[in-house]
Structure 1
């Protein structure tokens, strides 16, 4: 068998098998690390969702960047909607997967600060999907909102490319940094996904609520839902493949050795013995 191993063919095959085994082990580790990250992220999101509601201004301030650790925290705020500066965000889907817009209306608090509020999904125009859509009525007067705190969207976070030159009051991302110069009041960092209002809004004044990460629907960002339950099976799958390669290498080596041995035995049987010349007397 050693003679088989030191042939050029088996040296190359062994190197290929070793390389493939190392690559599959590495892919398994990568998937396992993704599983750990997803599990930690799910735990953090669950803690944030089930934490008691707190006033928004305890977690955000004008010009601040909301840390990832505060994402999905339940917050409350009181104020009036600013219809003059509301806008829509393009290429967003509802629970049914239809593409439309998110309606974002700033809310001005009693201490003259502004907060971006994602009121939910609205359908596009039937004739022109890129046109500014028909919007639900904006409630007047003072409201108390409950919602989920979100970090400012970026192209990296959302997977949506930020495009300039869009029609008026249309944007690609929800970003307090992008909107701060448009509003007369100081704008708190991040934004709020609307969950409920007090008093409750009539149906005519409501957009379709954005699903949270604990709902059966798409959230604001796929990062909250993608990867659940898939990374660990993929890791185990790659490791099983890596385990099968050495076994396959041994099986092929034994088969090759047996085949060579069989050929040698056949050659020995079919080759007549060499005749020796008679010795002169």
Structure 2
């Protein structure tokens, strides 16, 4: 008969027999906590544990997290500052008296960001044959088309005017509804200057439809001496326009500033939370390593007394109804006094040294 190894016998004594369809379950462990020792901070007292590499890493991580949060807070603050500056420009330009186009835009490529939403007066004739439609444009949450019509000045130059927005056709959502013709003859319009847009959309130009008001591309499409620095969003004109187009901007636009400053405060708060969490971890480690210190014991007793003096919360009362009791520490008692002493797990060498000479352990037991 072949004798089974001791490890096999020990395994059989530690695991209950497995039933059909079930995994093997380990036998119940002895009651009571098991002592666990930290070899990194063992023997340290006071705040000496902060000089270990582990805590160096924790502190460095908290500092790095704070630096990232401060960087993001500064980024949001700069965005808020830029939004405030943009709003100031719009407020100064939106309702100001119109400026002649040759004064506002001395050359075809002229435009400065400080001229955003500036009111400009232009006199000329609409070139209806070169009219274009910009697809996928939103107005009040609805999707539709913007109609841009070239306006030829007396010197032959061409200024692009965005005459308004129109809904899609009821029969074909990819095409605009009926577009009213622009005024005939010489007209004087007042527009708000807007910069040339970046090329948008991936689709190619289809008929008179374009994906964005990119003025250099518009110049290539219609030809001639086109103003490529800015175009005009129609505000009013001397000859009343025919009904059918909706003006795109009827009130002064503003950028949201408060959100950026709110995010700035939040990121700074997150940086403080990181250091707060680090401080809590330091305090917890200090209390554990100095639990035998009389002063620390006195402070722990005082904490238990203050905690026991507080009224029970609804959650604690609910737990008492379910479990039938509240933890002893909640009443101001000592958890250490109520719990059995920790079971110290000795290494095999120590066990062998404590065993009397000539006595061998039972089969399957260390």
Q: 1:63–1:177: 8 Å Cα contact kept in structure 2?
A: no
**TM alignment of 1:99-114, pairs within 5 A:** 99-114=143-158
Equivalent of residue 214 in structure 1, options 235, 249, 252: 252
1:221 matched residue in structure 2: none
Q: Does 1:258 align with 2:306?
A: no
Provide the TM-score with structure 1 as the length reference. Answer: 0.80
Equivalent of residue 191 in structure 1, options 211, 214, 231: 231
Report the secondary structure of 2:117's partner residue.
coil
Shift of 1:42: 1.4
**Residues 156-184 of structure 1: per-residue CA shift (max 9 Å, x gap):** xxxx33x3533111111113311223445
**TM alignment of 1:61-72, pairs within 5 A:** 61=106, 63-72=108-117
2:101 matched residue in structure 1: 56
Report the secondary structure of 2:48's partner residue.
helix
Q: Kindly indicate whether structure 1 or structure 2 has the higher relative contact order, using CA contacts under 8 Å at least 6 residues apart.
A: 1
**TM alignment of 1:153-172, pairs within 5 A:** 153-155=197-199, 160-161=200-201, 163=202, 165-172=204-211
Aligned equivalents of 2:186 and 2:70: distance in 1? 59
- Say if 1:212 and 1:234 are closer, same or farther in 2 by CA, change over 3 A: farther
Equivalent of residue 120 in structure 1, options 164, 170, 192: 164
Q: 2:124–2:154: 8 Å Cα contact kept in structure 1?
A: yes
Report the secondary structure of 2:285's partner residue.
helix
Aligned equivalents of 1:84 and 1:61: distance in 2? 27
**Residues 214-272 of structure 1: per-residue CA shift (max 9 Å, x gap):** 24xxxxxxxx63x4321111111111221232222222211221122227888xxx79x
Which residues of structure 1 form unaligned runs of 5+?
Answer: 216-223, 272-281
Report the secondary structure of 2:236's partner residue.
strand
Aligned equivalents of 1:117 and 1:124: distance in 2? 20
**How much is the aligned-residue C-alpha RMSD, in angstroms?**
2.4
Aligned equivalents of 1:42 and 1:3: distance in 2? 55
**TM alignment of 1:1-281, pairs within 5 A:** 1-61=46-106, 63-95=108-140, 97-155=141-199, 160-161=200-201, 163=202, 165-183=204-222, 185-189=224-228, 190-204=230-244, 207-211=245-249, 214-215=252-253, 225=255, 227-262=256-291
Aligned equivalents of 1:49 and 1:213: distance in 2? 9
Aligned equivalents of 1:142 and 1:233: distance in 2? 50
1:220 matched residue in structure 2: none
Report the secondary structure of 2:94's partner residue.
helix
Deviating more after overlay: 82-91 vs 41-50: 41-50
Which residues of structure 2 form unaligned runs of 5+?
Answer: 1-45, 298-335, 343-366
**Residues 14-37 of structure 1: per-residue CA shift (max 9 Å, x gap):** 221111111111111111111111
Provide the TM-score with structure 2 as the length reference. Answer: 0.63
- Say if 1:65 and 1:171 are closer, same or farther in 2 by CA, change over 3 A: farther
Aligned equivalents of 1:180 and 1:202: distance in 2? 26
- Max radius of gyration: which structure? 2
**Residues 190-231 of structure 1: per-residue CA shift (max 9 Å, x gap):** 210001111322424xx110126724xxxxxxxx63x43211
